[in-house]
Structure 1
């Protein structure tokens, strides 16, 4: 499997991107990494002798984190982001990955790879840890203003993506009580009753229910924010504005909780002793809830496998994102979406 990575995109590029790619290449000889970026900058961060499955692809431009997608499309055709996407479109890579400008990454993917027939707007799907199986939340930022048909598309795409990432956290497979069952989809609202929600939510219910047979999922109706950590459903659908707020709130709360726990455990000799005894359990908990273990979010709805990482992603998150890319490729997620979204004759 070959994965093209934008080495110059992200708040900590190229250092952390290169480090994560190198770790992934060393860990899996069957994955060929195409690292795209400023060649001299990348070589300065790499050992003299590269793994045989790590290849450097030079680029001459960089898309800025605050650059407008339209400007990048017009003027940054030789950027690391553009070339990584193009390598995928040309069949030289099975997937592309970037921690850079989300809007530009989405735009390059849409215009270079094309949109899946039957899907009106591609969206970004991220994964949340829960009490049961990981939960897919979509959209988390690609579309802040949506119509009911877009949320129906998100339900179809999320249902196709969910099976691919069930085992995203190593060692968690034994806990998969839902494995083998039909994917469940919920519509994020302020109450479970059909009458609850804004106009978009109320108008979207019928379209999602109609899409359920084609997408082979069970639509359970409205769900609330607390259902995400509970793992009530496999997929939660919302517009990109709401989804992004949910995502950033979860990231902030996770950091607050883990930081507060560490501070409490280090506050006295007795608590430090307790921390030593609890160390194995604490490590398991951190693995389960650390967002860097979930890597990147999948851009669904384009004719390809595109992974978008958080701008602040460091090496561990990049390595995890490469694992996500492999899962998406192996599960043939775009093909599953295309089959479900295919317009009826």
Structure 2
């Protein structure tokens, strides 16, 4: 197993073998590092082109990794004694977080050792540290968290953002979210020309807050150069529909919608299990429909769409659910791997830079160039 003192990667974010390197914060999740390492093992078995830098207590991680054959020769342990807990305040973590596994995981991306970082930890702290260490992309006022929402579209998912990076968003912020969300759908889901909608209380143009009406004009004007189609206002019922590929909203509304959807899916699953176990005939019907029920369970399983992507930073961060088990962690790592392989970060930076007002593109850091964004 490689150590922390092994030679540096040959290219940013790639190991000496040419594999894509994912930086993983092993601490901070509700289920502990065992679930995180198990998820890494699942990802390694499914993706020969992946390897890891994993951050946390060295002795503990060495024991866990040694039990996972798929990680042999593909996992570097980066010692980090400190842990960011779910109760820690982001401001405290920013001041005193150096030496924690979360800080260390982000640093691997900042230094170019890894392409993407994955963490199950405290969302507020992860965003705060990511903004401090990676900085915002030129032209971005507010980063956003994007999630995947199961839908009737051919790709199987819609993109929704922001789902909790910041509770506020004015019209220019919503325009940036539209550009970033379209780039994510294009490079992460393979949607050639994403359809973008603004989440509102109705589809009529006269409805909604003032910033939504202003954002509508900005997004519609940017559609052609941004490489997307603007479909107008969308409602909550459109989130899983085939009408739209990218749903844009502020973090307050998006987070409530996300948590409501997750809770509803869980409730419906419980109702279905109760109904199928309510009597002998129901149990027989469940047995006969077992194959269909398993396919349904897999399709609506929230663990398999786990992973919110931080957009608008000089580096890609994937936030896994804090309660994620091995399957959920593997899904978040799989998403990170697909984004890294697509060149998503460089293309996103180029897209945002191309839309930035004159004189703003050099404000924070440099934007990478890309052909298809």
Report how far residue 16 of structure 1 moved: 1.5
- Structure 1 gaps, min length 5: 168-178
Residue from 114, 124, 127 that aligns with 2:145: 124
Provide the secondary structure at the position in 2 that maps to 1:45.
helix
Residue from 174, 178, 183 that aligns with 2:194: 183
Work out the CA distance in 1 between the residues paired with 2:75 and 2:274: 40
Provide the secondary structure at the position in 1 that maps to 2:39.
helix
Tell me the equivalent position of 1:170: none
Work out the CA distance in 1 between the residues paired with 2:24 and 2:53: 6
Work out the CA distance in 1 between the residues paired with 2:258 and 2:357: 35
Tell me the equivalent position of 1:40: 59
Q: Bigger CA drift: 129-138 or 184-193?
A: 129-138
Provide the secondary structure at the position in 2 that maps to 1:210.
helix
Work out the CA distance in 1 between the residues paired with 2:46 and 2:229: 38
Classify 1:322/1:287 alpha carbon distance in 2 versus 1 (closer, same or farther; 3 Å). same
Tell me the equivalent position of 2:44: 25
Report how far residue 187 of structure 1 moved: 0.3
2:22 matches 1:11: no
Provide the secondary structure at the position in 1 that maps to 2:286.
helix
2:159 matches 1:136: yes
Work out the CA distance in 2 between the residues paired with 1:214 and 1:300: 20
Kept after mapping to 1: 8 A contact 2:188/2:344: no
Tell me the equivalent position of 1:263: 274
Provide the secondary structure at the position in 1 that maps to 2:52.
strand
Kept after mapping to 2: 8 A contact 1:29/1:53: no
Kept after mapping to 2: 8 A contact 1:2/1:94: yes
Work out the CA distance in 1 between the residues paired with 2:146 and 2:293: 28
| Runs of 4+ with >3 A deviation | 43-50
Instruction: Write the mapping of 1:1-345 to structure 2, written as runs, cut at 5 A.
Output: 1-48=20-67, 51-132=72-153, 133=155, 134-166=157-189, 180=192, 182-342=193-353, 343=356, 345=358
Report how far residue 200 of structure 1 moved: 2.6
Report how far residue 210 of structure 1 moved: 2.5
Work out the CA distance in 1 between the residues paired with 2:284 and 2:78: 50
Tell me the equivalent position of 2:371: none
Report how far residue 292 of structure 1 moved: 0.8
Q: Deviations over 1:65-106 (max 9, x none)?
A: 121222111111110000011011111111101010111111
Work out the CA distance in 2 between the residues paired with 1:67 and 1:213: 43
Work out the CA distance in 2 between the residues paired with 1:28 and 1:135: 24
Classify 1:10/1:263 alpha carbon distance in 2 versus 1 (closer, same or farther; 3 Å). same
Kept after mapping to 2: 8 A contact 1:118/1:338: no
Kept after mapping to 2: 8 A contact 1:138/1:238: yes
Q: Bigger CA drift: 49-58 or 214-223?
A: 49-58
Work out the CA distance in 2 between the residues paired with 1:9 and 1:235: 30
Work out the CA distance in 1 between the residues paired with 2:281 and 2:189: 39
Q: Deviations over 1:118-152 (max 9, x none)?
A: 11111000000012231000000001011111111
Tell me the equivalent position of 2:12: none
Kept after mapping to 2: 8 A contact 1:3/1:33: yes
- Structure 2 gaps, min length 5: 1-19, 359-373
Report how far residue 46 of structure 1 moved: 4.0
Report how far residue 44 of structure 1 moved: 4.2
Kept after mapping to 1: 8 A contact 2:188/2:342: no
Q: Bigger CA drift: 183-192 or 205-214?
A: 205-214
